[in-house]
Amino acid sequence: MSEAKPKIILRTEGFPDQRSIKTYVDKAEGYTAVRKVLGGLSREQVIEEVKQSGLRGRGGAGFLTGLKWSFVPKDMPGPKYLICNNDESEPGTFKDRYICTVNPHQIIEGMIIAAYAIGANKGYIYTRWEFQEEIGYLETAIKEAYEAGFLGKNLFGSGFDFELDHYSGAGAYICGEETGLISSLEGKKGQPKVKPPFPAVSGYLGRPTIVNNTETLANVPWIINHGAKAFRQWGTEKSPGTKLFSISGALNKPGVYEVPLGYPFASLLNDEGGGMQAGRSLKALIPGGASAPVLTPTECEGLTMDYEAMAQRGTMLGSGAVMIIDDRQSIAELLKVTIEFFAHESCGQCTPCREGTGWLNNIMDGILDRSAKPDNIERLRTVSRNMGGKTICALSDACAMPVMAFVQKFSDELQAYLAAGSGSHSK
């Protein structure tokens, strides 16, 4: 079992007819974990097993999944909801869509188990609108699961009911934030809700709701089948298990790879990713999606792919979106598209984010057309510093953190760009 490159999430990858319920059931222990759970485990036992496994949310924040589930009030009468956050919208991330492509049933099975654990009888998969193909895969999978009797009433004779629907928003980044997602699912404008109350107590339609990332839920069946201890054989003490990484950039083999957490970055780059393309060298690394602060090649030395190592270097593992920045890329242009993205996606409720992201974008316009005053480069940091930690959701921080890192680490290149145009190949 302790192979070097274990497959938990992508274990049907490359199988013929990999998405079908038959493949999952026949070749990948499909729907055996849910039988085990509904055949005799208590809710507390399920939550405890997931807690013991140390599974952390794979959407970006890395919060302990079992702990999150335990926040749902046990004895509260009335409906509770489970939502699969499949809105994967962090720039650079494309791992959840790949799970939908490889094995959507694993998500469904994970959801049934999670729903049982929190006492929800209704679930939704909320998918990013742009994933039209994957929406089709999910809808087919849901249909198959209903036909097989794995969804609906009295599952496996246990008396437990679970209905599952699919929903898609209009394609806003902020609908990947759990309360923004809930607003969208409620038919409202997709904007995060002020907390407290937290969704585990008052979420979708004001009812207790758990929102979990697709990859997180896809881990659950394996953990139930093989136990927390087996899960912990991979990864580190605080980052157990495997993780999907979406690697992009000037590599020979960009793509989605499943490796144990704590995996060396150098191996990920050179083995899985096939190394840099000929003639390109690593200029910078964005290790966890557009909101993760950038690392320099020096900082990448000895880097391992886990939550702790990233935190030590002042950045984050995020959603596992590894973006390789090569020597031909302009930091000014990269920073501009990063900021423009957040300025475009800010929902606009909280003033520091609404005005801050727009202001930063405004300054970047000035840097790109060289109308900005030189002190505007340092101002990017001042504005960012004052946007952080002040808003309802993390979008403001998600924009501020990378900006501060870019300006701190590539100040010279930005200054030079503004002064003369060096560092740019497109101006």
Nearer CB in complex with other proteins: 65/349: 349
Cβ atoms within 10 Å of 94's Cβ, excluding its own: 20
Distances in Å between the alpha carbon of 150 and those of 34, 109, 129, 206, 219? 9, 8, 26, 28, 18
Nearer to other proteins by Cβ, of 51 and 379: the residue is 379
- What residues are paired with 258 via a beta bridge? 244
Binding segment for other proteins (CB under 8 A), chosen from 33-41, 79-87, 156-164, 353-361, is: 353-361
Of the candidates 377, 373, 398, the residue with the CA atom closest to the CA atom of residue 387: 398
For position 66 contacting other proteins by CB under 8 A, the verdict is: no
Judged by CB under 8 A, the residue of 344, 370, 419, 422 near other proteins is 344
The region that residue 269 occupies, defined by phi over 0 for left and psi between -120 and 50 for alpha, beta otherwise, is alpha
CB of 210 to other proteins, least distance (A): 22
Q: Which of 170, 194, 419, 420 binds other proteins (CB under 8 A)?
A: 194
Task: Say whether 317 sits in a helix, a strand or coil.
Answer: coil
- In terms of CB distance, is 8 or 387 closer to other proteins? 387
Asked if omega into 287 is within 30° of 0 (cis), the reply is no
Out of 196, 298, 302, 426, name the contact with other proteins by CB under 8 A.
196
Amino acid identity, residue 220?
V
CB 339 within 8 A of CB 399: yes
Q: How many CB atoms lie within 10 A of CB 16?
A: 8
Going 312 to 316 to 320 to 326, the CA torsion angle's sign is: negative
Binder among 348, 411, 416, 424 for other proteins (CB under 8 A): 348
Site for other proteins in 161-180 (CB under 8 A): 172
Nearest distance, CB of residue 352 and other proteins, angstroms: 5
351 binds other proteins (CB under 8 A): yes
Residue type, 398: A
Query: Does the footprint of other proteins cover residue 255 (CB under 8 A)?
Result: no
- Can you tell me which of 343, 401, 414, 418 binds other proteins, judged by CB under 8 A? 343
Burial (CB count <10 Å: 0-12, 13-18, 19+), residue 39: exposed
Question: According to CB under 8 A, which residues from 363 to 422 bind other proteins?
Answer: 363, 365-366, 372-373, 376, 379, 382-383, 386-387, 389-392
Residue 350 binding other proteins, by CB under 8 A: yes
Among 239, 304, 357, 384, binds other proteins (CB under 8 A): 357
**Residue 337 contacts other proteins per CB under 8 A:** no
Task: Specify the stretch interacting with other proteins by CB under 8 A; choose among 77-85, 153-161, 194-202, 246-254.
Answer: 194-202
128, exposed or middle or buried, with CB in 10 Å at 0-12, 13-18, 19+? Answer: buried
Which of 352, 403, 414, 418 binds other proteins (CB under 8 A)? It is: 352
Residue 89 is encoded by which pair of tokens? 């919208």
Cα–Cα distance for residue pair 175/89, rounded to 1 Å: 9
Stretch that binds other proteins, among 231-239, 251-259, 296-304, 361-369 (CB under 8 A): 361-369
Size of the site for other proteins (CB under 8 A): 37
State in angstroms the smallest separation of the CB of 37 from other proteins: 37
CA 108/CA 123 separation, integer angstroms = 10
Nearer to other proteins, 43 or 189 (CB): 189
Is there binding between residue 320 and other proteins (CB under 8 A)? no
> Does the protein bind other proteins through residue 152 (CB under 8 A)?
no
How far apart CA 67 and CA 290 sit, in angstroms, is 27
Q: Given the rule CB under 8 A, which residues bind other proteins?
A: 172, 189, 194-196, 343-352, 354-359, 362-363, 365-366, 372-373, 376, 379, 382-383, 386-387, 389-392
